[in-house]
A and B are shown apart, each in its own frame.
Chain A
Amino acid sequence: MNPRSLFEKIWQAHEVVPETAETPAILYVDLHLVHEVTTPQAFAALEARGLPVRRPGRTLGTLDHSTPTEVAQLAGRIPIRDQSAAAQVAALERNARAHGIELLGLGDPRRGIVHVIGPELGRTLPGMTIVCGDSHTSTHGAFGTLAFGIGTTEVGHVLATQCLLQRKPRSLEVFVEGRLPAGVGAKDLVLTIIGRLGVDGGTGHVIEYRGEAIRALSMDERMTVCNMSIEAGARAGMIAPDGVTFEYLRGRPGVPSAGAYERAVEQWRELPGDSGAAFDRDLKLDAREVEPMISYGTNPGMVAAVGGSIPERGDEAFMKALRYMGFEPGERLAGKRVDLVFIGSCTNSRLSDLQAAAAILKDRKLAKGVRMLVVPGSQQVKREAEREGLDAIFTAAGAEWRESGCSMCIGMNGDIAAPGQYVVSTSNRNFEGRQGAGTRTLLAGPATAAAAAVTGRVTDPRELAA
């Protein structure tokens, strides 16, 4: 047999019907994650055809996208203010009940952002196919899964058949040699990769991240990298499972226990690509050259080192983006004004992200006029952070400590900035108006975001490191 990559092994193991020139493959889905915003129309489509959910046990629901993060609304002390968001929450509660789907609803201690809870609860396991009506489903690829976002019509297909019609994508190897320098994180690495590939460099491909720098990352960091694969246009990003993966999973609720765990690990050890497995394309980079990164434009490929400058280009698309941002070509990024800082999202809201931000904020205050939201990725992350006293560090600095949810990453839950404001954000998209109409987003890692909160300016976090 030809040497097979991680992707090819998972793909072949899930082919119900292989693809032909005339027809796409029918691919089996192991885990279907659902949330309140992209599912109501899919459930309605099933009901219109009188179809049941084929495998409710392979479906897990949560509330995160339009669900508010304000403590008073979530604790039920006041109703959800946005009536249409409340209707979406009610619709998923009703649909989950009607179809026997497990929903981690309001008040459930396991609720959180869909791509944070899957791994945290041990529902995301190596070798799986995972889909969700959300493009950042690529996050789960960090565990050696094939995980990608789908539209609402496809959500209906998976509910009804547990399968999807798919053409086999091409493969792209991103090989990162060396180790990241101290003070440089996974977000800086993935922003560098997107800057190199461009926002459509991965279109039609599944990325596999490989090399010493990737092996050295924690699971939280691997999730940050895989999460942003879609920002380079790739449907999915994946990393072969190894000892770091198995240790993360050991003892989590959805993971096989005792002897079954050892047998599962034996199977997972078969997943990494065979030596000599070929990729359609590749990109190589050296982790030692990566610096703290920040975006300056209106797509995630427009990035530069925090200590660097905006490139000197004059083409119309580039200038249009800079006009929106209020920047000029060639300007230095360090020292740019910051109005709001957001720590959160499926990219950077896990415990280690909050720890990185807290390390900068400890015994410091927010700069005058700066607002900061810290939104944990799940209720479990929230509890762990509070056990370590991170919430006290954030609130003492003057930041708001919220309930879990997508919050300002998507700005459809009440958490938005004002028109014209500059937001340094640990989220994944800096598109025009993403964080509220007219808002200007600068994407960065949690340390860079925290440094900006303290100085009120774009700042290299290494200048503030203890």
Chain B
Amino acid sequence: MDTGKAAVIRSIRSRTVVLAADDVDTDQIIPARFLTTTRRDGFGDALFAGWRFDAKGLPRSGFALNDAAFRDAAVLVAGRNFGCGSSREHAAWALRDYGFRAIVCASFADIFRNNALKNGLVPVAVGAPTLAWLMANPGVEVTIDLETATLRLPGQEPTPFPIDSFARYRLLNGIDELGYLLSHSAAIDAFEGNRGE
């Protein structure tokens, strides 16, 4: 039986791949036509399908993820408002399934940020100078340290990034949210009782 223990994430060290676009919506991350499934794995092959592949299904040259030099990158760098649009968690599943472990960008859409954190995909929002440097230096090795909530770039001082204190605690300790909610069953019983249910 699944006891609901989540994976522990302390730090992520990886090269980056750069997707120089704002407002990357979840329909681009995983188009709806791939959502007719009852499974939560296997979405990696369809990640960014419309941008990665042409009408014949062949890789489009010029799209960063098709460049073999970046195939091992586990950190995706993008612009502002990443993950806007649909609430589909399949977007976070697809990014994880492909091999991404963190997204570094200017800002995130709310629902995507929540979905990412529930799937061990770390959302790292950074300021304009840091992002501009990352955009100009694709493929660099970066370290995302959750203990200190900082992003380390080669030869630079660590840059702090904002992360909800509970989300950080969960990732560092492998706390499962559903288990946490279930541990408050007595409070939920009392709430329902007060409403006469």
A45 contact from B2, B22, B38, B81, Cβ within 8 A: B2
Q: Are B87 and A134 in contact (CB under 8 A)?
A: yes
Cross-chain contact A151 with B92 (CB below 8 angstroms): yes
Question: Which residue of chain A has the shortest Cβ distance to B181 in the bound complex?
Answer: A161
Structural contact, B178 and A24, CB atoms closer than 8 A: no
In the complex, what distance in Å separates the CA atom of A429 from the CA atom of B25? 10
Q: Is the CB of B36 within 8 A of A199?
A: no
Interface residues of A (CB under 8 A from B): 16-17, 21-24, 26, 28, 37-38, 40-41, 44-45, 48-51, 54, 66, 82, 84-85, 87-88, 91, 133-135, 149-154, 156-157, 160-163, 165, 167, 169, 199-200, 203-204, 230, 233, 235, 299, 317, 320, 410-412, 419, 429, 431-434, 437-438
B63 within 8 A of A: no
Segment at the A interface, from B7-15, B111-119, B138-146, B153-161: B111-119
- When distances are taken between beta carbons in the complex, the residues of chain B under 8 Å from A199 are 23, 81, 84
Report the minimum CB–CB distance from A122 to chain B (whole Å).
19
**Complex: A99 Cα to B49 Cα, angstroms:** 36
- The reply to whether B40 and A41 contact each other, CB–CB distance below 8 Å, is yes
> How near does chain A come to B47, taking the closest CB pair, in angstroms?
14
Task: Report the count of interface residues on B (CB-CB < 8 A).
Answer: 56
Known: A134-B87, A199-B81. A151 touches B31 (CB 8 A): no
Q: How far is the CB of B145 from chain A (nearest CB, A)?
A: 20
From 55 to 81 in chain B, residues with beta carbon under 8 angstroms from any chain A beta carbon are 55, 79-81
* Chain A residues with CB under 8 A of B86: 134-135, 429
The distance in angstroms between the C-alpha atoms of A438 and B51, with both chains bound, is 11
Beyond the given pairs A38-B89, A149-B87, A200-B80, 16 more chain A to chain B contacts, judged by CB atoms under 8 angstroms and listed by A's residue number, are A16-B188, A24-B166, A26-B184, A28-B191, A49-B4, A66-B35, A88-B37, A91-B38, A133-B87, A153-B119, A162-B188, A163-B188, A165-B177, A167-B164, A203-B110, A320-B21
A selection of 19 A-B contacts at a CB cut-off of 8 Å is A16-B191, A21-B165, A26-B184, A28-B188, A40-B38, A41-B38, A49-B1, A49-B4, A87-B37, A150-B114, A152-B40, A153-B177, A154-B118, A165-B180, A199-B81, A203-B81, A233-B109, A235-B111, A431-B25
B1 contacts which of A21, A50, A87, A165 (Cβ < 8 Å)?
A: A50
The 4 closest A-B pairs by CB, nearest first: A151-B89, A40-B38, A149-B87, A151-B115
Q: Tell me the minimal C-beta distance from B193 to chain A in angstroms.
A: 11
* A24-B114 Cα distance, complex, nearest whole Å: 12
In the bound complex, do residue A165 and residue B181 qualify as a contact, i.e. CB atoms below 8 Å apart? yes
Given contacts A151-B89, A161-B188, A299-B25, contact A37 B118 (CB under 8 A): no
Contact present for A17 and B40 (CB under 8 Å): no
User: In the docked arrangement, what's the CA distance between A122 and B32, Å?
Assistant: 30
B115 cross-chain contacts in A, Cβ below 8 A? 151, 153
With a cutoff of 8 Å between Cβ atoms, the chain B residues found around residue A317 in the complex are: 21-23, 79
Per the 8 Å Cβ criterion, residues 12-60 of B in contact with A are 21-23, 25, 27-28, 31-33, 35-40, 50, 55
Given A233-B109, A411-B33 in contact, is the A200-B191 Cβ separation under 8 Å?
Answer: no
Interfacial chain A residues near B181, Cβ < 8 Å: 26, 157, 160-161, 163, 165
Whether, in the assembled complex, B187 has its beta carbon less than 8 Å from a beta carbon of chain A, the answer is yes
Point out the residues of chain A lying under 8 angstroms from B178, CB to CB.
45, 49, 153, 156-157, 160-161
Instruction: Tell me the complex Cα distance, A84–B32, Å.
Output: 13
Q: How far is the CB of A398 from chain B (nearest CB, A)?
A: 27
A84-B37 in contact (CB<8A): yes
Bound complex: CA A51 to CA B182 (Å): 10
Residue pair A434, B27 in contact (C-beta under 8 Å): yes
Does B85 have its Cβ within 8 Å of any Cβ on chain A?
A: yes
Contact of A154 among B79, B114, B182 (CB under 8 A): B114
Interface members, chain B 78-129 (any A CB < 8 Å): 79-81, 84-90, 92, 107-111, 114-115, 118-119
If A82-B36, A85-B36, A165-B180 touch, whether A438 touches B87 (CB-CB below 8 Å) is no
CA distance A161 to B90 in the complex (A): 22
A429–B166 Cα gap in the complex (Å)?
33
- Rounded to whole angstroms, the CA-CA distance of A54 and B185 in the bound complex is 10
CB contact under 8 A between A151 and B39, given known A22-B165, A163-B181 = no
Residues in A with CB closer than 8 Å to B4 are 49
Q: Is the CB of A151 within 8 A of B114?
A: yes
Q: Beta-carbon contacts of B181-197 to A below 8 Å, as 1s and 0s?
A: 11011011001100000
**Across-interface contacts of A203 in B (CB, < 8 A):** 81, 107-110
Beyond A165-B180, A233-B110, is A153–B21 a contact (Cβ under 8 Å)? Answer: no
Q: Is the CB of B188 within 8 A of A200?
A: no
In the complex, the answer to whether B185 meets A161 with C-beta atoms within 8 Å is yes
B36 touching A88, Cβ below 8 Å: yes
CB-defined contacts of A432 to chain B, threshold 8 Å: 27-28, 50
Point out the residues of chain B lying under 8 angstroms from A150, CB to CB.
87, 111, 114
Nearest-neighbour CB distance to chain A for B43, whole angstroms, equals 11
